[in-house]
């Protein structure tokens, strides 16, 4: 029982590290402080932050479920989590290059902008591709 509790704590800690890293990477790709924008009630920043975190959580779930739990799966979960963080960052940058304007600037607007949904879709789509590769 204690070993299982230790594994749960280890996977939880790993998950939190990946989620925090993903948040900081997306924060670095957008002007201003993403957390401050969210707390100030900015809907565009909230959509981007939410989909980033949910998508990374989905990747971690698939990584743990399909590579096997236990101590041996921790390194797999870390690798797939890091791949998720990197792939989401690349997806955001590529979308930013393909669309007119700057997604980071749109993220700062106080009024809801349709581009926020497109950037959210990229985050989710990237996560789903990674999840599918794990099955």
- What are the mean pLDDT values of the chain's consecutive 10-residue runs (135 residues total)? 91 94 94 92 95 95 83 89 94 91 83 93 95 88
Confidence (pLDDT) at 134: 85
Number of structural domains found in the chain: 1
Q: Check: pTM over 0.85? Answer yes or no.
A: yes
* Dihedral sign (CA 114, 44, 125, 61): negative
Distance between alpha carbon 48 and the CA centroid of its chain, in Å? 9
Confidence (pLDDT) at 29: 92
Which residue has tokens 């698939």?
62
Which tokens go with 125?
């789509």
Distance between CA atoms of residues 128 and 59, nearest Å:
8
State phi, psi for 124 to the nearest 5 degrees: -70, -45
* 1, 15, 107 from 74: Cα distances, Å: 18, 10, 34
> Can you give the residue range of the structural domain that contains 55?
2-134
């Amino acid at each position: 029982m204690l070993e299982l509790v230790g594994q749960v704590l280890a996977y939880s800690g790993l998950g939190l590290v990946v989620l925090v890293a993903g948040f900081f990477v997306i924060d670095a790709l957008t002007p201003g402080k993403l957390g401050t924008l969210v707390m100030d009630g900015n809907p565009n920043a909230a959509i981007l932050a939410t989909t980033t975190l949910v998508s990374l959580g989905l990747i971690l779930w698939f990584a743990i479920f399909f590579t096997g739990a236990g101590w041996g799966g921790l390194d797999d979960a870390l690798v797939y989590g890091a791949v998720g963080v990197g792939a989401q960052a690349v997806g955001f940058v590529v979308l930013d290059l393909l669309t007119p304007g700057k997604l980071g600037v749109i993220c700062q607007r106080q009024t809801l902008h349709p581009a926020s949904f497109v950037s959210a879709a990229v985050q989710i789509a990237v996560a789903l591709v990674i999840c599918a590769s794990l099955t």
